Amino acid sequence: MDDVKHLRNLNDAQLAAVTFVPTTPLQILAGPGSGKTKTLICRIAHLISHHKIHPSRIVAVTFTNKAANELRNRLDGLIGKAEASSVVLGTFHAICARLLRQHGSEINLPRNFSICDADEVKKIINGILKDMVAAAGLHGSNKRIEVRDSVAVEYISKAKSKGLSPDDLETKAQRDIASKESLPKGEADPQFMLQVSSIYAEYMKVCKNNNALDFDDLLTYGVKLLQTKPSCIDYEHVFVDEFQDTNTTQLQLMKHFAARHGNVSIVGDPDQSIYGWRSAEIENLTRMIKLFPGTKQVFLEDNYRSTGAILAASLAIISEDTTRPPKTLRTSHPYGVTVTIGNCADEHEEAVCIAEEIKRLKLISGGLLKWSDFAILLRFNALSRNLETALQKMGIPNRILSGQKFFERVEVKDLLAYLQLIDNPNFDPAALRVLNVPKRNIGNKSVEELRKRASKTGKPVMHTVEKIVDGRIPDISPPLRSKAREFIQTMRDLRQKAIKGISVASLIRELLMQLDYAEHLKKTQPDWESRWENVRELITFATESSTAQVSSQSNSVQDDDSSSTDAADVTRATTTASLLKEDKQAGLVDGDLWEDTSPLPGEDSSLSDELESTNPLRVFLETTSLSTDVVANDEDAENEKVIISTCHAAKGLEWPVVFIPSVERGTYPFYRSEDTEEERRLLYVACTRAQVLLYLTHAARRKLGGDSKEAELSEFLTVVMKKNKNLFTSNKPILGHKEFSLLSKVLGRPAPEATAVQQGVQEYYKVQATSTAPAANTGGVLPQPAPNGYSQGQSTNRTFKFKNMSTEQTQHSQGAMPAVFTTARSVVGSLPPVQITPSNKVSKPIAAPSTQTLQTMWATTSTTVSRVNPTIGSGYTPGNASVASVSSHHQIRAGTAASARPSHAAVASSQPIQAPRGQFSFSSAASSLSQPSTSSSTSQTASSSEPPAKVAGTKRRLGMSARGPEFPRKK
């Protein structure tokens, strides 16, 4: 009824996309921050309210669960929960899993299939490799198996992503061997691929026997299902988000989803294609046009996220990709604050600098910035260690996004394995995992013996164990009959309970009791307390997800022990468990629960009927295996934290302030990466997450793994800096009320009070000043005062010197432009000072200079595709005009820079070594490279108040405890 709500606040291009005729396939090609999710949601709303398409006949596919949730929430807000909830929404994997549960029987897939995670896949492959090696030895074959498990996993996954079967691989390998022509580079050795293909074939067999699918199988079986029985779905419109990240199989799926009506809308951006390593293919954009003739394109080129400075720098970086069809992005926001490239001595210093800068910005922003406004984006997770330590040490609350995944923690996995086994006794990886958990004196050797035996007979491991326990087949060499008896009894009992429909939470509790799992944790894990927390978290999750999924089935059993303390819980669980064991002996279910359950395709009925597809346990297991997200804990606590995330996981998100550490060769591009351009895009994605402030940092030395190596700035930046020095500065920006007011507009927030900013500034300098004194750690305004002498005795030089304080405070109070900077002796030479240039012109293109016209953008598709409404997003003419305005922009900036230069130079010459205040110690760090002796003396002055060694020790201890042995505990 509200026909226009979803059309409000859209720009021309967005509006065109939203209201574009639904029967024509549409590509919405959109740069970062251009509102593509908004456009997608509004288009869905428009289809429902204007075109009267029933929400249940719309499917929207996202790339991550997080994106799916966000889409769901925003859709709820726009069209109401009632309607939004019927839209079919999820990742390709989740949607396929759902379909396969419902209709899998069409392709002989039992409903209770398990989903293998990466670990389990690897274990299966490992088993296969062992068997193959053994077999090769048996036949006296001298063919060695030289394929490593991880490599096999990778190639099998790649094959599946392309929809290739083991036969396909073998055929190709044989052909390549026969042809004797040299292969195109990048192609794997055919002999090797031959081995892979046979491993692949065996793997498929094992999966079938295990009644298990891996992630890729979900997609390939989905395709198979839809080929076999297209009628099991009937979607009137198909949406795919992040289309540039789809692989071949996913494109096939999309085709099948849309088979009936041919109505597709996709959203994507080739510049943000960062999943090539996962077989994503940008070519799908052109393939789609072939699959869906008449496809039109709409371009969203207005960036609403970032300042001009951030956008200009990001575009300059991405424009170095020569293979990229040039395209533009413009912002209505002011130019803002120049992007900082910080140079540090090493990774410790880098972490501390970032932490300090976060603290400073929060403090001096007059309330504009919260902790949760900051993000640190990493190329890989291992980079987070120093940052975590530094943040912890400074009392900055932080959270790692997508680091250690909840469902991958050992204790959680143990329990999940039991649950999987209850649901699907054929699932060997789970069986092998828990046979000796808790310790039943069934050691690795026995487990391996069982695996071999089962593998030989083609029966599931559980089946074999059960028969041994029942005395129907001979025991293995170290007898395990008695040892496994209790295990089998437990499984039988729990399975009965599951069939009766006991809630998952109760099932887990029952399981814990019967296993006395708390006791097991206590014995085996030094940090059992925090692990027990995770167990409880799992119960909570089960409770929540069951109430969310099946609202009708209320859980009678509630988690009444959740209010008591850990220790009490554990004690009680332990006691109760032993009590329950007695119980169990009385009401023991004996019988052959697994006896006739060999639900291999063909005869799947007995089992699947017992546990029907809506069974809460199965729903729960599916959620846990498909959700790689960290379980959302109490959200209030999460909200106020600095986020540490990988660049990949950060896609689609935005933060006011973004730090990107380790922008060095070897990290960007990552040294093992094959696709340099993808790495560049990754950096681009990371940069474009930032709204108002962006910091890229690099270190002169970095310790990766074992030893500390020299590092240098990423070529992605050096190339750009050579061309345009004005895009970056090496200094921390000095910000006052005027600047924060400007930035607040970009963020769409109220400007901070002038007095608040000033207070923050003063407080900041006060803290800085006191913290230079040795005994400053007395608390105060900051959670933890800046630890002096953090540099812990290494020759690395950290300067927390804030000279000329009064001068700078004056500047701040006046909102003056910063004028005091030294020249950073960074790799590329001197950089211009920071500047803040409010732009008075709106919608000025900040395109990287390009001589190509807009019409040739997305060149791969422009010939076959007509562009929707060429006037969309006009207001400037691309091509020459664009270039012209860019250069004039630069002229303006050059002028400003020039005017700031005198003082800049003056300071630089008067204080060549000591870093000015408000500055990263980059410049001094850099100078330490060229003048080691001088700088080390500086460092001594800076930290002479504390014995370096002691500080180092403190830090180490702090760091470790702060991290938590492995799993950070919730408090």
**Are the CB atoms for 640 and 371 separated by under 8 Å?**
yes
CB of 278 to DNA, least distance (A): 5
CB of 311 to DNA, least distance (A): 24
Residues between 255 and 294 with contacts to DNA, criterion CB under 7 A: 274, 277-278
* 130 interacts with DNA by CB under 7 A: no
Task: Fill in the DSSP letter of residue 692.
Answer: E
Give the nearer residue to DNA in terms of CB position, either 12 or 519.
Answer: 519
- Give the range of 26-34, 436-444, 762-770, 936-944 binding DNA by CB under 7 A: 436-444
Instruction: Output b/e per residue, 560-584; b: 16+ Cβ within 10 A.
Output: eeeeeeeeebbeebbebbeebbeeb
Rounded to 5°, the CA angle 409-411-417 comes to 95
902 preceded by cis ω (within 30°)? no
- Give the range of 365-373, 435-443, 453-461, 532-540 binding DNA by CB under 7 A: 435-443
Applying CB under 7 A, which of residues 179, 191, 441, 891 lies at the interface with DNA?
A: 441
What's the alpha-carbon Rg for the chain, to the nearest Å? 30
Q: Which amino acid is at 45?
A: A
- Give the range of 71-79, 369-377, 626-634, 866-874 binding DNA by CB under 7 A: 626-634
- Give the range of 485-493, 587-595, 856-864, 954-962 binding DNA by CB under 7 A: 954-962
Q: What is the distance between the alpha carbons of residues 43 and 929, in angstroms, rounded to a whole number?
A: 56
Q: Which helix (H) or strand (E) holds 539?
A: helix 528-549
- Give the range of 325-333, 375-383, 531-539, 541-549 binding DNA by CB under 7 A: 375-383
What backbone torsions phi and psi does residue 779 show, to the nearest 5 degrees? 75, -165
* 702 interacts with DNA by CB under 7 A: no
Give the nearer residue to DNA in terms of CB position, either 140 or 705.
Answer: 705
Applying CB under 7 A, which of residues 116, 300, 502, 649 lies at the interface with DNA?
A: 649
In 3D space, the residue among 341, 231, 325, 335 whose CA is nearest the CA of residue 286 turns out to be 325
DSSP reduced 3-state for 695:
strand
Give the nearer residue to DNA in terms of CB position, either 92 or 203.
Answer: 92
* 510 interacts with DNA by CB under 7 A: no
Applying CB under 7 A, which of residues 11, 27, 39, 64 lies at the interface with DNA?
A: 64
CB of 967 to DNA, least distance (A): 10
Q: Give the rounded distance of the alpha carbon of 137 from its chain centre.
A: 43
* 69 interacts with DNA by CB under 7 A: no
* 215 interacts with DNA by CB under 7 A: yes
* 186 interacts with DNA by CB under 7 A: no
In this structure, what token pair is assigned to residue 938? 């500086």
Per rule CB under 7 A, count of chain residues that contact DNA: 47
Q: Is there a binding annotation on residue 34?
A: yes
Applying CB under 7 A, which of residues 36, 38, 46, 66 lies at the interface with DNA?
A: 66
* 934 interacts with DNA by CB under 7 A: no
* 478 interacts with DNA by CB under 7 A: yes
Q: Is there a binding annotation on residue 744?
A: no
Q: Which amino acid is at 334?
A: P
669 preceded by cis ω (within 30°)? yes
- The 10 Å Cβ neighbour count of residue 596 is 10
Q: Angle, nearest 10°, between helix axes 461-469 and 444-457?
A: 110
* 960 interacts with DNA by CB under 7 A: yes
CB of 535 to DNA, least distance (A): 18
Give the nearer residue to DNA in terms of CB position, either 523 or 766.
Answer: 523
CB of 688 to DNA, least distance (A): 17
Q: Is there a binding annotation on residue 140?
A: no
Residues between 83 and 102 with contacts to DNA, criterion CB under 7 A: 91-94
**Are the CB atoms for 218 and 93 separated by under 8 Å?**
yes
Q: What is the distance between the alpha carbons of residues 650 and 643, in angstroms, rounded to a whole number?
A: 10
Give the nearer residue to DNA in terms of CB position, either 137 or 601.
Answer: 137
Residues 6+ apart with CB under 8 A from 960: none
* 673 interacts with DNA by CB under 7 A: yes
In this structure, what token pair is assigned to residue 197? 């293909």
* 653 interacts with DNA by CB under 7 A: no
Q: Is there a binding annotation on residue 228?
A: no
Residues between 386 and 415 with contacts to DNA, criterion CB under 7 A: 402
> Side by side, which strands form the sheet with 302-303?
302-303, 330-331, 844-845
Q: Which amino acid is at 242?
A: E
Give the nearer residue to DNA in terms of CB position, either 149 or 356.
Answer: 149
Applying CB under 7 A, which of residues 325, 397, 443, 780 lies at the interface with DNA?
A: 443
**Are the CB atoms for 429 and 207 separated by under 8 Å?**
no
Q: What is the distance between the alpha carbons of residues 129 and 133, in angstroms, rounded to a whole number?
A: 6
CB of 696 to DNA, least distance (A): 18
- The 10 Å Cβ neighbour count of residue 715 is 15
DSSP reduced 3-state for 507:
helix
In this structure, what token pair is assigned to residue 729? 């500065």
Applying CB under 7 A, which of residues 49, 210, 424, 628 lies at the interface with DNA?
A: 628
* 474 interacts with DNA by CB under 7 A: no
> Looking up tokens 């009937």, which residue turns up?
234
Q: What is the distance between the alpha carbons of residues 867 and 724, in angstroms, rounded to a whole number?
A: 33
CB of 448 to DNA, least distance (A): 9
In this structure, what token pair is assigned to residue 433? 């995992």
CB of 647 to DNA, least distance (A): 7
- Binding annotation for ATP: 30-37
Give the footprint of DNA on this chain (CB under 7 A): 63-66, 91-94, 118, 215-216, 274, 277-278, 379-382, 385, 402, 439, 441-446, 477-478, 626, 628-629, 646, 648-649, 670, 672-673, 704-706, 956, 959-960, 963, 965-966
